[in-house]
Amino acid sequence: MKEVNIHVEHLTRVEGHGNIILNARNGKVEKVMWEVSEAPRLFEAFVRGKPYHQLARITSRICGICSIGHTLASLKATEAAMGIEISAQSQLLRRLAIHGENMQSHILHLGYLVSPDLFGVGSVIPLVKTHPDAVLSIVKLHRVANEYSDAICGRTTHPTNLVPGGLHKSPSPVKLRKCREMLLDSVDTANAVAELLLDNAGALPDFSRETEFIALTSEEEYALYDGLIGSTDAGTYPAEAYESVVNEFVVPHSTAKYCKNKRESFMVGALARFNLNHKHLSPMAAKWAERFGLKAVCHNPFMNNVAQLVEFVHSIEDSIAIIDRLLEDYKDEPRPRITPKAGRGIGIVDVPRGILFHDYTYDENGICVKANCVIPTNQNHNNIQHDFEAFAPTLLGRPEKEIELNLEMLVRAYDPCISCSTHFLKVEWKR
Amino acid sequence: MKIIIDDKEYACREGQKVLDVARAHDVDIPTLCFNPLNEAMRPAGCRLCLVEVLDGGRPGLQSSCSLPVSDGLKVSTKSRAVYDERREVTELLLSEHEQDCRNCPISGECAFSELCRDYDINGVSVCAECPNRKEGCLLSRGVLCIGPITYANCDAFCTRRGYPCEGCHSVMVNEDLLRFGLAAFAKADFHKEEILEAARIFSYEGVKVLDKVMKQEGFK
Ligand code: SF4
Ligand code: SF4
Ligand code: FES
């Protein structure tokens, strides 16, 4: 049988630099590899020596997409380290912040990066001609998500309104009502986009490999902002156990660290959250999960796209419910005043791409002496590799272009944020 | 034939311009309208290549891209008059230019932003764009805003919304601008160290200058 040699350098429609390599001979895969070539980021070193109130500002810059999530994980770590309590109202407002970010990120991924695969085109640009209504709807949803995040967080990215102890200032009730209106108005658009994606969901490969899923989980809600570390294999862990859950290790072909827990790898992200928290989905979100045939525990990584869509709808519905709760008894809370303390704190939130850990140690003046951040995409690299090993052999009979597309789609399904730069497609064929 | 540029003699030929001789010997003279790919075209319009004629020609500032060589011509590329005039020209060009580019992290590929840096032409502070300047300044409300000492061009995005500026466009590196900005803190009750700490979040060079200016001003 013919030889297959695939080398996709700097895969497009993902964040950052990653390469795909596949060599096969006589119907056997000799080498299949997901290679991460991004330069190390060194944020943990940047923040050493910085005062506690600057940490979230700095670490939010780790990412341009999930900067709200980094801010929240960072604030939670700082608050845990110093024993700072935050008001019930601030907790709810922060939940809105994370919903806003989830919506921003998911629609960006599904609308601009994944939909071209579903419609069988190379990028979102040709879709403007063939599916103008769909593109306009996606842009509208993206705008809603941005304006919503801006209203709560003070900026659409790298938020300024979230500070240790709560919020810099509570968004006005007028603003909240406006958000509510905007979200309500986006429901039909979201349903229409979901309907369209459902019509084209057949393009998602039917591939499953049993793996472990890790996400925040809670008895009370679809956990994004708060909860315990949950695993589909091993129940729950307290925050303090995070290092023994992620078990970071280094591999030679990657500048990112790899992770594993109970099995050879695990997966984080929307699908992991769905698998662990599906009971708490809002009604409309649950309905969409059912219509897409998404059932827990789902082991098809391609269904992460569907889980994102389901979460998008959930974030709209849950946001509206939270805003209603807030408005029942809403106060203009003063800016929190904080006296720094020495200590170590771990902050965990589940951001669009999965569970995120920030772990800080402070001295008695509130100066950071040690920091550790474990980023979702890092936790997924190892799972992508193991998926490759299982998926590639099933593809070998097909034309090279198709094999390549399938592997690319697999990586994209994880919505990896390999760093914060996107590069253009360069595919290399070696024959 | 010889000409003297900055006290050094250079051999040259009839028909050459002073700029050509300077370029051939790596003497730095900034240009914008002169295009090295099309040397014949010399609109001599940007006036950045100014040199000062000291001897052997009509004294004063002349554009070197169009100034013909003549034996014994003596020019300076570094005199105070040259510096001041070039700076002024750059500033005038900038005033007609896309304002956003003032705070561009200079990539080394843009001759104009290089010029702005070389001639110490900087942007304005966030305060200049901030609507709170007239009323409701965060500083007067006890919030430490470093807008007075950081570069603008975000249209005071954060302060306009009521959040203090954290200097994501970095602290200014121009002493005069910093001195002017620091006056805003004089009325507010912030300690020198607090301001420096806030300034340090996204800046390095500017903080060094800031520290120096604060010392000069006796800031406490
Ligand atoms: S100090 Fe801040 S709030 Fe006050 S005018 Fe300047 S930028 Fe605006
Ligand atoms: S923090 Fe950045 S965006 Fe905000 S006001 Fe300051 S310079 Fe502008
Ligand atoms: S290069 Fe523009 S005037 Fe000489």
Do residues B102 and B154 touch, judged by C-beta distance below 8 A? no
Distance separating alpha carbons of residues A427 and A217, to the nearest angstrom: 40
Put simply, whether A160 touches B (Cβ < 8 Å) is yes
3-state secondary structure of A201: helix
Q: Classify strands A354-362 and A368-374 as parallel, antiparallel or unpaired.
A: antiparallel
Q: Is B192 in the pocket of ligand 1 (CB under 6 A)?
A: no
Chain B interface test: which of A52, A54, A150 (most B C-beta within 10 Å): A54
What is the DSSP code (8-state) at residue A388?
H
**H or E segment to which residue A214 belongs:** strand A212-217
Whole-prediction pTM: 0.79
Instruction: Delineate the domains of chain A, giving CATH numbers in brackets.
Output: 43-421 (1.10.645.10)
Distance separating alpha carbons of residues B132 and B184, to the nearest angstrom: 13
Residues 6+ positions from A227 with CB-CB distance below 8 Å? A216, A217, A218, A221, A348, A350
The letter for the amino acid at B132 is N
pLDDT tens digits for range A106-122: 999 999 888 888 888 87
Q: Do A155 and B157 touch (CB under 8 A)?
A: yes
In which residue are the tokens 């229409």 written? A192
User: From first to last of its 431 residues, what are the pLDDT tens digits of chain A?
Assistant: 467 787 777 666 555 677 888 888 887 888 888 877 666 667 888 899 999 999 999 998 888 788 999 999 999 999 999 999 999 999 999 999 999 999 999 999 999 888 888 888 878 888 888 889 999 999 999 999 999 999 999 888 889 899 999 998 899 999 999 999 999 999 999 999 999 999 988 889 999 999 999 999 999 999 999 999 999 998 999 999 998 888 877 777 766 777 888 888 999 999 999 999 999 999 999 999 999 999 999 999 999 999 999 999 999 999 999 999 999 999 988 888 899 999 999 999 999 999 999 999 999 999 999 999 888 888 888 899 999 999 999 988 888 888 888 888 898 898 887 543 222 233 343 43
3-state secondary structure of A20: strand
Distance separating alpha carbons of residues B92 and A390, to the nearest angstrom: 64
The letter for the amino acid at A117 is D
Q: Classify strands B50-55 and A162-163 as parallel, antiparallel or unpaired.
A: unpaired
pLDDT tens digits for range A329-376: 999 888 888 999 999 999 999 999 999 999 999 999 999 999 998 888
Determine the residue of B168, B201, B202 to mutate for testing ligand 2's pocket, defined as the one with the most ligand atoms within 8 A of the Cβ atom: B168
**For residue B209, cis peptide bond before it (omega within 30 degrees of 0):** no
Q: Is B133 in the pocket of ligand 1 (CB under 6 A)?
A: yes
Q: Do A169 and B162 touch (CB under 8 A)?
A: yes
Q: Is B171 in the pocket of ligand 2 (CB under 6 A)?
A: no
CB pairs under 8 A between A and B: 24
**Sheet with A228-231: strands ordered across:** A235-237, A228-231, A212-217, A266-267
CA of A157 to the centre of ligand 1 (A): 21
In which residue are the tokens 């040199």 written? B51
Do residues A43 and A73 touch, judged by C-beta distance below 8 A? no
Closest alpha carbon to A400 in A16, A20, A12, A10: A20
Give the number of other CB atoms < 10 A from CB of residue A21. Answer: 19
Do residues A302 and A201 touch, judged by C-beta distance below 8 A? no
Nearest residue (by CA) to ligand 1, atom 5, is B133
Q: Is B127 in the pocket of ligand 1 (CB under 6 A)?
A: yes
**How far apart, in Å, do the first and last CA atoms of chain B sit?**
61
Q: What is the DSSP string of A396-410?
A: TTS-HHHHHHHHHHH
Do residues B214 and B175 touch, judged by C-beta distance below 8 A? no
CA distances for B27 relative to B5, B18, B66, B77, angstroms: 8, 11, 16, 9
Q: Distance from B165 to chain A by nearest Cα, in Å? A: 9
For chain A, what percent of residues have pLDDT higher than 90?
61
- Give domain limits for chain B: 2-91, 126-216
Determine the residue of B21, B28, B38, B47 to mutate for testing ligand 3's pocket, defined as the one with the most ligand atoms within 8 A of the Cβ atom: B47
Do residues A402 and A120 touch, judged by C-beta distance below 8 A? no
Put simply, whether A187 touches B (Cβ < 8 Å) is no
Distance separating alpha carbons of residues A100 and A234, to the nearest angstrom: 30
Closest alpha carbon to A358 in A341, A340, A376: A376
Percent of chain B as helix, strand, coil, to the nearest 5: 40, 10, 50
Do residues A32 and A61 touch, judged by C-beta distance below 8 A? no
Ligand nearest to the CA of B187: 1
Residues 6+ positions from B58 with CB-CB distance below 8 Å? none
Fold of B2-91: Ubiquitin-like (UB roll) (3.10.20)
Residues of chain A numbered 302-321 and touching chain B (CB < 8 Å): none
